Amino acid sequence: MLVKICKKVLLILAVVMLPLSTALPSAASPLVGGSPPGGGNPLEQQIEDGIRVLADGVRYNGVMPGARIDGVWYGQYYSISIFYSVTAPEDTTIRVEAHNIYDNLGHEFNHVINVMIGGQNTRERFIVGDVPTTVEVEYLLLEEYDLASVFPRAGFSINGESLTFRDVPGRR
């Protein structure tokens, strides 16, 4: 008799817990198909081939020495950089394209002067699987800039797939 009651209780628990155990992991993961609707981590996304991208923050680089940028000589210039961490499930080559970023003060940044993948000045590079690789995108500023606390929108493409990140923090 006691065995029959225990079996019924276990069966009821299994029926109740099964939907919860299959629904919670996918609902809790911000990586499955990018940010889930209505929440999740807007700074971390995953594209179809399993490559994960994390928007790591924006930094003000300050004044830079003179340089020739797009054929124009600047005696000095200022810049900001946005950092992404890219992790692929296996060894692969990534191609990145930077898009405009916007701060919460109404500024738009669209003049990309440098893209670094893993410390190498390039827009395409081989990366090792399961090793987070830093991608830095540097934007030209013509005057000093007081770094915003948040960047509500940052665009980025990896291997031809466009991603939009929300509320990327400014890092001092």
The pLDDT tens digits of the residues spanning 24-66 come to 333 333 333 344 444 567 799 999 899 999 999 999 999 988 8
Residue among 47, 50, 28, 25 nearest 39 (CA): 28
**pLDDT at position 36, please?**
40
The pLDDT tens digits of the residues spanning 77-124 come to 899 999 999 999 999 999 999 999 999 999 999 999 999 999 999 999
**pLDDT at position 75, please?**
84
Asked whether 106 and 39 are in contact (CB, 8 A), the reply is: no
How confident is the model over 8-36, as a mean pLDDT?
40
**pLDDT at position 172, please?**
78
**pLDDT at position 68, please?**
84
**pLDDT at position 16, please?**
43
pTM: predicted TM-score of the whole model, two decimal places: 0.74
- Give the dihedral of Cα atoms 102, 100, 161, 96; nearest 10 deg: -120
Domain 44-171 classification at class level: mainly beta
Asked whether 127 and 93 are in contact (CB, 8 A), the reply is: yes
- Gap between the Cα atoms of 147 and 141, Å rounded: 12
**pLDDT at position 118, please?**
97
The pLDDT tens digits of the residues spanning 127-168 come to 999 999 999 999 999 899 999 999 999 999 999 999 999 999
